[in-house]
Amino acid sequence: MIELILTITQNKHFWLSFTIFNYLVFELLSIRFNRPAYLNSTLLSVIIISVSLKLLDVTYIEYLEKLEILRFLLSLTIVAFAVPLYENTKIIIKNWKAIFATLITANIASYIPTIIYIKYFNTSHALIAPLMGKSATSPVNMAISEITQSNISLAAIFSISTGIIIAIIGPMILNILKISNPQSRGFSIGFAGHGVGCAQMVSEGQIVISFAVLGLILNGILTALTLPIILNLV
């Protein structure tokens, strides 16, 4: 039996099929229960796959190599966000003041808890940049960590974890606070939860998703500009 499992898992298409299977099962469950936040298909699939990789003694690098196609499609999806962004240009321009004010305030605010943490825990140099940039999308955080010779993998994981946290609790917080304005819902989740957050908001319509993408991009650009300055001051 063990031999059979090992033979199946060694097939080059196994991990791709396993990932899609997990995603489908959790998506169907999520739809069945009216999409509750705790049934996040990304998070649950990530947990099952991480544990499976550990149990089957497969390294993360090996897994990533077999899922190159999904990573490529992720890059294509990011480019495809140009469509909602273009279609909602007029609404975005009309709300430029709120967007600009939120961008500056929230970007500065996102550094404060981490600065306090770094000072209190005397954190090692390799962790400072990845932790400080975690509110930005992972490519930006990774690029800044690379420049500052910090741990790039941790930068990616901190950013993605932040996204997952926002994807789970973000919509709940928005609903508790009775935020119904689609621009505000989208921009806040995109800013704080980047890619994973945007994915969670896809079901809320094109205005929400275009503002989420805008939040993701603008926060990424501003973090790339401000974080190197802040790192010099910390």
Q: How far apart are CA 203 and CA 16, in angstroms?
A: 25
Closest CA to 81 of 224, 179, 218, 226: 218
Q: Which amino acid is at 13?
A: H
Q: CB nearer to other proteins: give 3 or 222.
A: 222
Q: Which amino acid is at 60?
A: Y
Token pair 């989740």: residue = 189
CB of 57 to other proteins, least distance (A): 12
Radius of gyration, CA atoms only, the chain:
19
Q: Which amino acid is at 37?
A: A
Under 8 Å between Cβ of 20 and 45: no
- Those residues whose C-beta lies under 8 Å from the C-beta of residue 152, and which sit 6 or more positions away, are 130, 142, 145, 146
CB of 133 to other proteins, least distance (A): 10
CB of 164 to other proteins, least distance (A): 7
CB of 32 to other proteins, least distance (A): 16
Q: How far apart are CA 197 and CA 213, in angstroms?
A: 10
